[in-house]
Chains A and B, each alone.
Chain A
Amino acid sequence: MTTTDPYAGERLKLSPFYPRQEVLNIREAWSAWNGYKFAEYYYDAEYEYFCVRNQCATYDITPMQKYEIRGRDAEVMLNRMVTRDVTKIGIDKVAYCVWCTDEGRMIDDGTIFKLADDRFMLTCGSPCTAWLAKSAFGFDDVTITDVTDDLAALSLQGPTSCAVLKNMGLHGIDTAKPFNIMHFPFHGESLMVSRTGFTGDLGYELWIPPELGLKLWDELYAAGEDYGIQPYGEAATNMARLEAAFIMPAMEFNEALRTVNFEHDQTPFELSLGWLVDFDKPHFSGRSALLKEKQRGPKYTLTKLDIEGNRPAEGSYIYGNKQCTKEIGYVTSAMWSPAVKANIALAMIMTDQLDNKMWAEIYYEKELRQYSRIAACTRKKKPFWAPSRARATPPPDC
């Protein structure tokens, strides 16, 4: 091709896995994530969701932002940025983290991979380059590189995922505990596998240089053929993560640096992520604000709700009385859970109302006519979906 595409700059980028995805996405259901063309679903969202819960399925996480943080000061720098104690992460271990503004409002969540004493990888949902640069200012020996486009990544989730990887020849993968990392030789390069995921189920994430992306896909799909492997898109991901009660930006929380209105962002305590805030570690950004928040108690608390009926409470207000006059919160995500056969939701509820009875006012449509009903809500302490295989090592084969 000699003629250049005048619209090249406007087009979405293609993942290294795109040639295979393109074939399988027979519904042409594409959306975008961080500039990459990204499948909303391939065939049917619910089908893909059941693949995740019943067999195994792959989700392209290449567009996730990936930063390599190197240098003698890398650990101190990260430790001052995130609320968890980074010094407690072992080599080849992963930790889920959040980081906050000085005011203790959450900027984003993500995972830190400790690859060596002076080498880390940070992954997160949206670009974070400017904040990382601010965080690194004042440290002598730390280099931050955006490796998003230099590292293809595929998430393999579901009960048969371990079996598939074993079948692919990744010997010893069954010994990897949750949040562990293992490295395998792969066509002259290293394939990194972490036992992580966003479905609340058994699962792994595979990291590979982009030029080997298709080889990985092909070998994985060959190995997974008898284990029901299937690609899944954003829609099924959103279902699985909600059952696991994982938070999503722009759903459960608004990234603090992109929040226009005062305190329309959230603190980790509001998101029930207080366990990620370690006040015993060295100083970190937002510490004093978070300490105050902890002592005072958050105004709202992210709560798991089981709601009567079968109409998802999307966008509903939550009330403290059945007359719906006393507003105590709002739903952030809601759906009918096919796995647990329950009408589930995540909601921000005023902390002092958590122990009281709650009702959701649900609006829904039936053949163009609008209906509403008032449904009692039950607060759940545990995630809606948390199978024991997700934590078992070695995991069961299927």
Chain B
Amino acid sequence: MPCWRTMASVRHKKNNGRYKNLDRYDSIIIGGGHNGLVCATYLAKSGQRVLLLEASESVGGLGASREFHPGFHASIAHSVSHFSKRVTDDLNLRSHAYVPGANPLPTVGLGIDREHIIFDQGTLRGVSADDAESFKNYSRLMHRLADVLHPFWLKTMPRIGSSNFTDLMTFGHLGLNLRRIGKKDMLEFLRVASLPARDLMDEYFDDETLKATLSWDGLIGAKMAPRSPNSAVLAMLYRMAEISRGEHSIPGGGVNGLITALSQAAVAAGATIRCAAPVERIRLAASSDGLQANGVQLTDGEIIAADRIVSATDPQRTFLNLVGVENLDIGFTNRIRRLRCSGYVAKLHLALNSLPEFTGLAQANGRMIIAPKMDSIEFAYDAAKYGESAENPVMEIVLPSVHDASLAPAGQHVLSAHVMYVPHELKGGWTDAARERICESSIDTIARYAPGIREQIIHQEFLTPADLERCYRVTGGHWHHTEFAMDQMLMMRPTYEAAQYSTPIPGLYLCGAGSHPGGDITGAPGHNAAREILR
């Protein structure tokens, strides 16, 4: 995707080998991922002079498209499931050519020697009548619970112990919402919220593939397996909160279509976007009152001043690299250090000369999950726990080119797969051979369901979490910047004293996935941060 270089960036004059900016911005956003763009747009719309700095050649972060092989495009995130409706409306994204995916992708639990499980627009096929019936009850409960939580993803979490009226209202609101769904459901929520995915599934279903497929949305992107208690159900409810009910879709132009719309909206609102402008340090002014963020220094030495700095990059990078530990308290530094930021999802991209055929599947137009049993997920995770790679990886496959022909040359296709669990730190370190081995075993796994696929491959690319870290400047290659787990969510995301988008350093804010409510393409952290800044 092209970079928006507007007039603002031309104004910089060379001065003694250093760029000097005579203008002062109201806000500088570090990082042009979707949350950075959302935040920049809200701030610009409010009349602020906003500069967004993106280190790479184009904005979009993990949502940006890359041509991984001539004519073949893919982005790390390959579908959108709960992008905030409020952000879409507020920023008028449709007027910036955002075309939300019209039809949700069917979720397909691929089976071997059995019928595939297909969940499409509210109907579930390929399972027993009992399970289909249970599914109705299950969905009803999950939707009710998701609705309870829905308002809170777009709220700023209060500080515990605060006596601020708005904060107390937020607590009261949650309590009231919970009570409003009825005593039975409320009690059920308090029980189910911390349940491992496996136990929840076992309570409702018999079909192993169904259980694994439904667990997927609670586990993907996290260092969790079906047996891990405490956070999987909350992750599921988080993803179900929007009106899409967590169903995935591919916007016009792929995920990048959304990014394009967001960038256009930002520019239209008056924000300046500069790409290839990596930030080296956040500049701080010291006074007797303490530190105050007042600008950034780019890697080429250029200094740009601003009243506030808003970081869309991950918390560890923000604090440990850009701010520097010497400017932070020791306890706070330690809390940032101990954030669990190791990603466990790798990305496989295949350029295919034709549409692959999955045995027994009429159309490969869905989100296909390869996880035949809950134990398949569990055992794949077991290997990753020790820094080993799973013998039988589990994965989610999408063919974005089926939905948007522009992503591949005519008649040809892109296969995009999230492969779990691939450790960020492989025992013995990552080598090309190690990457190759996992890539091949992932393709072998796919070939079990799409036997002809090997012959269709023109080009293959496998990005480990370590690769994602390097290419996308995200610590640990973690989708969510830091683990979405009970101890790192809500008023503890990323850690207390930085969970309300402000940080211990006045003038420095966070607006990325490392802030409440968390990762995935939602726009919510960007939205919430902008509201706090404008408060």
Q: Which residues of A does B touch, CB under 8 Å?
A: 76-77, 80-81, 101-103, 131, 134-135, 137-139, 279-280, 282-283, 285-288, 291
Chain B nearest Cβ from A110, distance in angstroms: 16
B329 within 8 A of A: yes
Q: Are the CB atoms of A279 and B504 closer together than 8 Å?
A: no
Q: How far is the CA of A288 from the CA of B328 in the complex (A)?
A: 10
What residue in chain A is nearest B332 (Cβ atoms)? Answer: A102
Q: A76-B326, A137-B325, A138-B324 are in contact. Are A283 and B290 (CB under 8 A)?
A: yes
Q: Which among B288, B326, B330 is the interface contact of A134 at CB below 8 angstroms? A: B330
Expressed in whole angstroms, the minimum distance between the Cβ of A389 and any Cβ of chain B is: 38
Tell me, rounded to whole Å, the shortest Cβ–Cβ distance linking A293 to chain B.
13
| Chain A: minimal CB distance from B245 (Å) | 42
Q: Is residue B334 contacting chain A, with contact meaning CB distance below 8 A?
A: yes
Distance in angstroms between the alpha carbons of A80 and B337 in the assembled complex: 17
CB distance B324 to A285 under 8 Å? no
Chain B residues within an 8 Å CB radius of A102? 329-332
Instruction: With a 10 A CB-CB cut-off, give which of B288, B290, B325, B328 has the most chain A CB atoms.
Output: B325
Bound-state CA distance A285–B329 (Å) is 4
| B288–A280 CB distance below 8 A | yes
Asked whether B326 lies within 8 Å of A81 as measured between CB atoms, the reply is: no
CB distance from B326 to the nearest CB of A (A): 5
Flag if A137 contacts B504 (CB, 8 Å). no
Inter-chain contacts of B329 with A (CB < 8 A): 102, 285-288
B334 pairs with A134, CB closer than 8 A: yes
Least CB separation from B324: chain A residue: A138
Say if the beta carbon of B333 comes within 8 Å of chain A: yes
Q: Are A291 and B330 in contact (CB under 8 A)?
A: no
Of B325, B330, B337, the residue contacting A131 (CB under 8 A) is: B330
Q: Are A138 and B290 in contact (CB under 8 A)?
A: no
Distance A173 CA – B510 CA, assembled complex (angstroms): 56
Contact A101 to B325, CB < 8 A, known contacts A138-B320, A287-B290, A291-B290: no
Indicate whether B187 reaches chain A with its CB closer than 8 angstroms.
no
- B333 near A282 (CB under 8 angstroms)? no
Q: Which residue of B lies closest to A284 (CB)?
A: B329
> Which A-chain residue is minimally distant from B331 (CB atoms)?
A102
Which B-chain residue is minimally distant from A76 (CB atoms)?
Answer: B326
Q: Are B333 and A279 interface neighbours, CB within 8 A?
A: no
B332 touches A288 (CB 8 A): no
Interface of A is mostly: loop
Closest 3 CB pairs of A and B: A138-B325, A102-B331, A102-B329
Q: Which residue of A lies closest to B321 (CB)?
A: A138
Q: Which residue of chain B has the shortest Cβ distance to A107 in the bound complex? A: B330
8 Å CB contacts to A: which residues of B368-383?
Answer: none
Q: Are B286 and A283 in contact (CB under 8 A)?
A: yes
Residues of chain B within 8 A of A279, CB atoms compared: 288
A/B interface sample: 11 pairs, CB < 8 A: A81-B330, A102-B330, A134-B333, A137-B337, A138-B320, A138-B324, A138-B333, A139-B325, A283-B290, A286-B329, A288-B290
Residue on B nearest A135 in the bound complex, by CB: B330
Residue in A137, A283, A285, A286 whose CB lies within 8 Å of B291: A283
Residues of B within 8 A of A101 (CB): 330-331
Q: Which of B259-298 contact A (CB under 8 A)?
A: 286, 288-291
Closest-by-CB residue of B relative to A257 is B331
Q: Which residues of A contact B406 (CB under 8 A)?
A: none
Is the CB–CB distance between B331 and A285 below 8 Å?
yes
**For chain B residues 504-520, which have a beta carbon within 8 Å of chain A?**
504
**Chain A residues whose C-beta falls within 8 Å of the C-beta of B504 in the assembled complex:** 288
Chain A residues positioned under 8 Å from B333 (CB to CB):
134, 137-138
B327 at the interface (CB under 8 A from A): yes
> CB-defined interface of B337-354 with A at 8 Å, one 1/0 digit per residue?
100000000000000000
The closest CB in chain B to the CB of A289 belongs to: B329
Give A341 to B257 CA distance when docked, in angstroms.
86
In the docked arrangement, what's the CA distance between A131 and B291, Å?
23
Q: Which residue of B lies closest to A79 (CB)?
A: B326
Question: Beyond the given A77-B326, A81-B330, A138-B333, could you list 6 further A-B residue pairs with CB under 8 A, ordered by the A residue number?
Answer: A80-B326, A80-B330, A134-B333, A138-B324, A283-B286, A291-B290
> Contact: B325 with A80, CB < 8 Å?
yes
Q: In angstroms, how far is the closest chain B Cβ from the Cβ of A263?
A: 13
Q: How far is the CA of A280 from the CA of B326 in the complex (A)?
A: 15
Interface centre among A80, A135, A282, A287, by most chain B C-beta atoms within 10 angstroms, is A80
C-alpha gap A282/B328 in the complex (Å):
11
Q: Once bound together, how far apart are the Cα atoms of A291 and B330, in whole Å?
A: 16
Distance in angstroms from B160 CB to nearest chain A CB is 13
CB distance from A181 to the nearest CB of B (A): 26
Q: Which residue of B lies closest to A280 (CB)?
A: B288
Contacts of B330 in A (CB 8 A): 80-81, 101-102, 131, 134-135, 285
- In the complex, what distance in Å separates the CA atom of A291 from the CA atom of B288? 9
Q: Closest approach, in angstroms, between the C-beta of B466 and any C-beta of chain A?
A: 21
Give Cα A285 to B335, complex, Å. Answer: 14
Contact string, B312-327, partner A, CB cutoff 8 A, digits 1/0? 0000000010001111
CB distance from A356 to the nearest CB of B (A): 31
What is the CA–CA distance of A288 and B289 in the complex, to the nearest angstrom? 8
Contacts of A77 in B (CB 8 A): 326
B324 partner residues in chain A, CB cutoff 8 A:
138
The complex places the Cα of A123 from the Cα of B333 at a distance, in Å, of: 24
- Decide if A282 touches B290 in the complex (CB within 8 Å): no
B326 and A283 form a contact (CB under 8 A) = yes
Chain A residue with minimal CB distance to B326? A80
With a CB–CB cut-off of 8 A, which chain B residues contact A285? 329-331
Residues of A within 8 A of B289 (CB): 291
Per the bound structure, the CA–CA distance linking A285 and B291 in Å amounts to: 12
B404 to chain A, nearest CB (A): 44
**Complex CA–CA separation, A76 to B328 (angstroms):** 12
Q: How far is the CA of A283 from the CA of B324 in the complex (A)?
A: 11
When distances are taken between beta carbons in the complex, the residues of chain A under 8 Å from B331 are 101-103, 134, 285
* Distance between Cα atoms of A283 and B329 in the complex (Å): 8
Interchain CA distance A178-B46 in the complex, whole Å: 60
Residues of B within 8 A of A135 (CB): 330
CA of A286 to CA of B329, assembled, Å:
6
CA distance A77 to B330 in the complex (A): 10
Specify which chain A residues have a CB less than 8 angstroms from the CB of B290 in the assembled complex.
Answer: 283, 287-288, 291
Instruction: Tell me the minimal C-beta distance from A135 to chain B in angstroms.
Output: 5
- Inside 8 A of A280's CB, which chain B residues have their CB? 288
Chain B residue, CB-CB nearest to A291? B290
**Cβ–Cβ < 8 Å partners of A137 in chain B:** 325, 333-334, 337
Complex Cα–Cα for A76 and B334 (A): 17
Question: From B506, which residue of chain A is reached at the shortest CB distance?
Answer: A288
CB atoms of A282 and B286 under 8 A apart: yes
A282 to B337, alpha carbons, bound, how many Å?
Answer: 22
A-chain residues with CB within 8 Å of residue B291 when the two chains form the complex: 283
Least Cβ–Cβ distance between A180 and chain B, in angstroms: 29
Most chain B CB neighbours (cut-off 10 Å) among A101, A137, A279: A137
